[in-house]
Amino acid sequence: MKKKLISFLGINKYEETTYKLPLSDQSVKTRFFVEAAAEYCSPDEILVFATKEAKDKNGNKLIQTLTKYHLQLVDIPPGKNEDELWKIFELLVSKLNERDEVYFDITHSFRSIPIFVLLASEFLRVAKSIEVKGILYGAFEAKEGEIVPTFDLSPFAEMLNWVTATDIFIKYGDSIELANILSKLKNKAWRERKGTSENSPRKMERLANTLENLSRCLRLMRPLEIKSPAELLEKNLEEVKEETAVWAKPFTVLLTKVKQKYDELVVPSPLEAQRRLIFWYEEHGHLVQAIALAREWIVSLACELTNIPSDEVKERGKVEKVVNRFAIEQRNKKTGSDTNIPCDEKLYEAFSNLPQAKEIASLWNEISDLRNNVSHCGMRQDRGEAEGIEKQIKKAIKKLRKV
């Protein structure tokens, strides 16, 4: 792992300029901004990407300027078409190793290169676990007197993190990545001392914790635990509005969507909450969770219909045995097989006399088989193909909507 500074050399005749470094009172007078960038980040290695024309015009001068640094000039094509841009991308990938810390200088790059760097840096952050420490730009056009300000554009590269996290949230209902971004922004604000005791983003951290807790409960199928963070979320979203408007502007666009995504999980009835969660899982592509919870919901339904507390494990177990025996008996009537499953006979009689008993039994047989198939990871003789199992689960849940 090394700290590397990636820069691009152009063909202009560069004049000596004074650059003010970001988040600092320090200034550097130089012809090449990459020298100022190096003073700012103290890299182990500087990689300057340059076309043949740029090397011929400015290469020697650059080498003479950066004598105290380990400098490597990398030959690249002009980047005038897609093939040449992909070649530059391949060269960039080849020069970076896993977990490198990287600063990009885009000050003297060809006009399309800044967009290219933005996208490539985000891809490499994920693919090679590099850490993008900064995307630096010496803004000559914003010159004030003799001083040229330097901007770190990496916060805008983080927009791509928002894109990924938002996509995951909208498709799968998982907000852990959003929570991670909110936590990082809060920590960054404190680290850079932008926040004071009056205006620091404390509420963002509380929201991040709630989103993480809620997503964890959803991932691990904890319907009884979901209610608390889901209810707390509405309060957190309301109180965080002012902070996100300052510290996490992209999130302000998502406030309503986040509320809508989880609102349906907050209902007074635990039985209805479980039922809605089954449908929520299916709608967000979590079919394993959906079918597993569907089986448990049938037990919860039977508990309610027989006036047995569904949250008492021992009593719930008795109801499950009753439902299982009745369901197997209904199936065996068609095959003529015997059934000999011990259970609470009084409870069995109460359940079997319910008008819904046969409908529940039919659902139990279908959903239990599917749940067992999935839970045993297809390690069964009659495992079926994945596509077929997926269709069967969706069909079973569709029936559940009519109960």
CB atoms within 10 A of CB 242: 12
Report the pLDDT value the prediction gives residue 340, as an integer from 0 to 100.
77
User: Domain boundaries in the chain?
Assistant: 3-157, 163-263, 270-400
pLDDT on residue 121: 85
Q: What is the model's pLDDT at position 196?
A: 53
Q: What is the DSSP letter of 181?
A: H
Tokens representing residue 215 in the block: 């997503």
The Cα 135–Cα 55 span in angstroms is: 23
pLDDT of 192 reads: 67
This prediction has a pTM of 0.82
CATH of domain 3-157: 3.40.50.10640
Distance of alpha carbon 252 from alpha carbon 132, whole angstroms: 25
Which pairs with CB-CB distance under 8 Å and at least 24 residues apart come from 25-28?
27/147
Q: Is the dihedral of CA 394, 397, 401, 403 positive or negative?
A: positive
Question: What pLDDT score does 298 carry?
Answer: 97
**10-residue mean pLDDT series, the chain (403 residues):** 93 90 87 94 95 93 94 91 90 93 89 80 89 91 87 85 93 96 86 60 92 96 93 94 91 93 90 95 97 97 95 94 94 71 93 95 96 90 88 95 85
Is the torsion defined by CA of 220, 223, 225, 228 positive or negative?
A: positive
CA distance 316 to 332: 24
Secondary-structure percent of the chain, ordered helix, strand, coil, rounded to 5:
60, 10, 30
What is the model's pLDDT at position 83?
92
Exposed/middle/buried for 353, CB within 10 Å: 0-12, 13-18, 19+? exposed
